Amino acid sequence: MMSALSKISELLGGLGELLLAARDSVRQWQRDWKQGQLSEGSKVLIGVWLAAALLLALMCANLLL
């Protein structure tokens, strides 16, 4: 059980770094969204971030089971 918790802790640390890296992108997306200028590239990046977050959540759930 401790091994799973340490793995989850490592994953969450990686998530924290990922979120810090994504902060500027999110701010840019918000500005683009408000101006109605959300590009196709931005839409793809949003999908990639969501997929990465989902994958991380699934990895954490798998470690708990």
User: How confident is the model at residue 59, as a pLDDT?
Assistant: 82
Q: What pLDDT is stored for residue 1 in this prediction?
A: 54
Over the stretch 3-57, which tens digit does the pLDDT of each residue have?
Answer: 767 777 777 777 777 777 777 777 888 888 888 887 787 778 778 878 888 888 8
Phi-psi region of 38 (alpha: psi -120 to 50; beta: other; left: phi over 0): beta
pTM: 0.52
User: Between 15 and 59, where is the model more confident?
Assistant: 59
Dist CA 8 CA 16 (whole Å): 12
Tell me how many domains the chain contains: 1
- Domain extent for 10: 2-64
